[in-house]
Amino acid sequence: MDHVPTPESASGPLQEAETRFRVAFEEAGVGMAIVGLDGKLLRVNRELAHLLGIDEETLLAGRGILAVSHPDDAGARADDFTRLASGAIDRYKRDRRYRRGDGTTLWGATTISLVRDADGAPLYAIGQLEDITARRAAEEAARRRAAQQDAVARLSQRAITEQDLDALARATVATITEALGVPLAGLATVSDGDDGDGLVHAAGARLDPAHARHTLSRRGPVVVPDTSTETRFDAADLIARGIASGIAVPVAGEGDAPHSVLGMYADEPCAFGDDDLAFLHSVANVLTGALRRLAAERSVRHQALHDPLTQLPNRALLLDRLRLALARHRRRAAGWVAVLYVDLDDFKGVNDSLGHGAGDTLLRALAPRLSEALRPSDTLARLAGDEFAVLCEGLDEVTESVAIAERLLDVISWPLDVAGVELRSSASVGIALAGPGAVIDAEDLVRDAGVAMYRAKRGGHGTYEIFDDHMRAETVERVALTHELRGAIEHGGLRLVYQPMIGFDARRATSFEALVRWTHPERGEIGPGRFIPLAEQHGLIEPLGRWVLHEALDQLRRWRDAGLPMGDMSMSVNVSRVQLSRPGLADEIFAALTERGLPAEQLVIEVTESAVMDDPAVANATLDALSAAGVRIALDDFGVGQSSLACLRDLPLDVLKLDRGFITSLAASRQAAAIVRAVCDMARALGFTVVAEGIETSMQADVVESLGCDVGQGFLYSHGVRPEEVPDAIATLDLRLGRPSSAQPVLGY
């Protein structure tokens, strides 16, 4: 060991150098060693002994550098050192693991340098070791965290769309085992059992029930660093399974109650740190997010298929179930499917007298009553307002459906306390049946039941009616006609005719009423009395009404452009009750006038009294707006129904059209004449123009004129004629009424 720099072997300047070296060696902030070419430690400093937790003597007495090497690193280390000792390299730097005296691992950044003699032959090596354990641990933790974050992100991605909760549970457990390299992870769901603490294994390893229950009762994570010292719960089972440590966290569900417990276990103590707990929490949160999303989707689906007021199935769900029932039924040779359409009698009366709240209360109270009157396999649905429907499958006899209807009528008639008032309701029930082998659509069966219900309603309250062939034929006809009417509206199948109105003073036509006509390709002429109600019931009156308005105004524009006298007369257009009940009609009319550059004063809108009374608020607003803009309003069919003169004062009316019924009864009834005179007097006082409708004879014309009517309309003068016939009709009228056709036109009314 001549060349090993020890204090003993040095003298003179060399000794001085060696002393300096020794001090540097001993006091170095890093661990240092002098290593022989055979790998033996010849000298170590205090810091190295301190870092390794082994005293200097033991180190020097040991097997050398390999003795403190981590077994996993020993091979690579031996190779490196052999190359250095042979002089092939002068230096190497490596991060190595060492086994400390207490068995723990030390990470060291190691530099080994070769010292040669004057001839360049290897003498010994100097090793330096810097403790980088903390840095390596931080790096390792960061790597693990990144892997965990990545795993959570991937799981979240999946949880956004996954519909299958079991599959998501399995993916969750797999995420934990992969990202953490934990062999044992599991999920147990809280069962809805009565005791509430039952757990059902859902995925992965079986969770320890004692551990999981303790987690649920604490409503927070339970970290078990060492099962052998666990005191909060009985860890015997865990120990028996060879588990030394673990963590469990509760997984929050859609509401307050936890949905499940997520846990992981290891066979060594203290296997999990804070990061692992945070990771487990994140995974649990992903699961909670998915649970809440699935719950929200479920509730959206429920809402889409249920009535919010009564929570009963709605029309869509009823139709769905009916479709399935009919499909099943088709394959059977016997039995009946019945739909019962239940409509309360005078529900409007309850709403009007006691308020909508009471109406809602009544419906909510009736729903369970109706349910109880049915079999569990029947479906009770709320279709709309006060309309319910029942689907009954597997009836043996038609009479069973009647028995059900009677039961329903019975429970509906029981008294009910609504807002402190005892109510007795009644209903009308329509029954439609699909017999053995019947092929019928669900929609059609419900519609048939509705038709029968209307029939029952007409027959008196509190009864039922079964849909029959006669009703079917009528319905089929209506459906076909409605379909064809839609086609006629869309494809120019309608026409307008114009019936002149005669001003008695002017003795000439002063205005026209536009009347719609439909010539059916097969059925021929169909009167508006038939198809207007059809259009009103099936949502066609708005397109129809719009077409009539536009067409009549277009015609007026054409007459004006052609310089014809009709171009200056006024045009009456009929407006249906349905149109009048929709806000926006006034704006639509203004737009139609503006587009054609026509003055509002030339347009007269004809409405009936009952149409105004349907929804007085909307109707009045519309009429007020029209009137304010100069459009005139005519009250059509006056005298039909309970016309009250008093209510006329509140409407912005310009014209009163006396119903044809008055005119025809004039000859026979003195009373009719008296009424007409009274109406004319009052109308004059209010500034209205009075039109007599349906004048067929000159005697009628004379009478109404003498009674004070201003204008006459009827077949005596002219039928409604096609636009191209209008000029001739006017000329003929002028001749008959004794007016030269060149006379100045007068603005109507």
Can you give the binding site for ligand C2E, defined by CB under 6 A? 499, 515-516, 527-529, 532, 545, 548, 574-576, 606, 636-637, 660, 694-696, 713-715, 720
Nearest approach in angstroms of CB 735 to Ca ion is 27
Residues 544 to 603 in contact with Ca ion, rule: CB under 5 A: 574
Q: What share of the chain is helix, strand, coil (3-state, %, to 5)?
A: 50, 25, 30
Interacting residues of 129 by C-beta distance below 8 A, sequence separation 6+ = 30, 31, 32, 33, 48, 51, 98, 108, 109, 110
Nearest approach in angstroms of CB 550 to ligand C2E is 11
Nearest approach in angstroms of CB 736 to ligand C2E is 15
Nearest approach in angstroms of CB 254 to ligand C2E is 53
CA-CA distances (angstroms) from residue 62 to 66, 73, 76, 105, 355?
Answer: 9, 18, 20, 18, 100
CA-CA distances (angstroms) from residue 118 to 45, 115, 349, 744?
Answer: 26, 10, 121, 140
Q: Which does 576 bind (CB under 5 to 8 A by kind): Ca ion, ligand C2E, none?
A: ligand C2E
Helices (H) and strands (E) in the chain, counts: 26, 26
Q: Which does 508 bind (CB under 5 to 8 A by kind): Ca ion, ligand C2E, none?
A: none
By C-beta, is 506 or 540 nearer to ligand C2E? 540
CA-CA distances (angstroms) from residue 548 to 147, 513, 598, 637?
Answer: 72, 11, 16, 19
By C-beta, is 465 or 636 nearer to Ca ion? 636
Q: Give dist(CA 693, CA 714) in Å, integer.
A: 6
By C-beta, is 185 or 489 nearer to ligand C2E? 489
CA-CA distances (angstroms) from residue 249 to 202, 231, 445, 494?
Answer: 15, 18, 54, 73
The gap from C-alpha 495 to its chain's centroid, in whole angstroms, comes to 43
By C-beta, is 108 or 694 nearer to ligand C2E? 694
Nearest approach in angstroms of CB 514 to ligand C2E is 6
Q: Which does 720 bind (CB under 5 to 8 A by kind): Ca ion, ligand C2E, none?
A: ligand C2E
Nearest approach in angstroms of CB 693 to Ca ion is 5
CA-CA distances (angstroms) from residue 135 to 28, 130, 138, 143?
Answer: 21, 11, 5, 12
Q: Which does 700 bind (CB under 5 to 8 A by kind): ligand C2E, Ca ion, none?
A: none
By C-beta, is 573 or 593 nearer to Ca ion? 573
By C-beta, is 51 or 648 nearer to Ca ion? 648
Kindly tell me the burial class for residue 462, based on how many C-beta atoms sit within 10 Å of its own C-beta (0-12, 13-18, 19 or more).
middle
By C-beta, is 527 or 543 nearer to ligand C2E? 527
By C-beta, is 393 or 693 nearer to Ca ion? 693
Q: Give dist(CA 707, CA 174) in Å, integer.
A: 97
Nearest approach in angstroms of CB 638 to ligand C2E is 10
Residues 275 to 334 in contact with Ca ion, rule: CB under 5 A: none
By C-beta, is 175 or 511 nearer to Ca ion? 511
Q: Which does 515 bind (CB under 5 to 8 A by kind): ligand C2E, Ca ion, none?
A: ligand C2E
- Contact status, residue 679 vs residue 658, Cβ threshold 8 Å: yes
Q: Give dist(CA 333, CA 324) in Å, integer.
A: 16
Which runs of E-coded beta strand occur in 132-233? 184-190, 199-204, 222-224
Residues 626 to 655 in contact with Ca ion, rule: CB under 5 A: 636-637
By C-beta, is 553 or 695 nearer to ligand C2E? 695
Nearest approach in angstroms of CB 697 to ligand C2E is 9
Among 606, 609, 710, 734, the residue binding Ca ion under the rule CB under 5 A is 606
Nearest approach in angstroms of CB 700 to Ca ion is 15
Nearest approach in angstroms of CB 484 to Ca ion is 24
Q: Which does 284 bind (CB under 5 to 8 A by kind): Ca ion, ligand C2E, none?
A: none
Single-letter amino acid code for the residue at 215:
T
Nearest approach in angstroms of CB 720 to ligand C2E is 5
Q: Which does 529 bind (CB under 5 to 8 A by kind): ligand C2E, Ca ion, none?
A: ligand C2E
Q: Which does 528 bind (CB under 5 to 8 A by kind): ligand C2E, Ca ion, none?
A: ligand C2E
Structure tokens at 124: 């010994």
By C-beta, is 465 or 606 nearer to Ca ion? 606
Nearest approach in angstroms of CB 730 to ligand C2E is 17
609 binds Ca ion (CB under 5 A): no
List 184's β-bridge partners, or say none.
265
- Contact status, residue 605 vs residue 575, Cβ threshold 8 Å: yes
Stretch touching Ca ion by CB under 5 A, among 295-303, 421-429, 443-451, 693-701 = 693-701
Nearest approach in angstroms of CB 659 to ligand C2E is 8
Structure tokens at 193: 């059992």
By C-beta, is 259 or 660 nearer to ligand C2E? 660
Nearest approach in angstroms of CB 713 to ligand C2E is 6
By C-beta, is 230 or 693 nearer to Ca ion? 693
Q: Vertex 69, ends 68 and 73: CA angle to 5°?
A: 175
By C-beta, is 342 or 605 nearer to ligand C2E? 605
- Contact status, residue 452 vs residue 341, Cβ threshold 8 Å: yes
Structure tokens at 480: 């076909």
Residue number with the shortest CB distance to ligand C2E? 714
Q: Which does 196 bind (CB under 5 to 8 A by kind): ligand C2E, Ca ion, none?
A: none
Interacting residues of 212 by C-beta distance below 8 A, sequence separation 6+ = 188, 199, 248, 261, 263
Q: Is residue 376 left, alpha or beta, with left meaning phi > 0 and alpha meaning psi from -120 to 50?
A: alpha
Residues 504 to 523 in contact with Ca ion, rule: CB under 5 A: none
Q: Which does 516 bind (CB under 5 to 8 A by kind): ligand C2E, Ca ion, none?
A: ligand C2E
By C-beta, is 317 or 611 nearer to ligand C2E? 611
- Contact status, residue 37 vs residue 85, Cβ threshold 8 Å: yes
- Residue 451: name the closest of 427, 468, 434 by CA: 468
- Element at 393 (helix H, strand E): strand 387-395
Single-letter amino acid code for the residue at 377:
S
Q: Report CA torsion sign: 44, 45, 47, 53.
A: positive
- Contact status, residue 396 vs residue 422, Cβ threshold 8 Å: no
Q: Please state whether beta strands 258-266 and 184-190 pair in parallel, antiparallel, or not at all (unpaired).
A: antiparallel
Exposed e or buried b for every residue in 354-377, given b needs 16+ CB within 10 A? Answer: beeebbebbbeebbeebbebbeee
Nearest approach in angstroms of CB 508 to ligand C2E is 18
Structure tokens at 48: 């190295």
Nearest approach in angstroms of CB 511 to Ca ion is 12
Q: Which does 643 bind (CB under 5 to 8 A by kind): Ca ion, ligand C2E, none?
A: none
By C-beta, is 186 or 712 nearer to ligand C2E? 712
Q: Can you give the binding site for Ca ion, defined by CB under 5 A? A: 574, 606, 636-637, 693
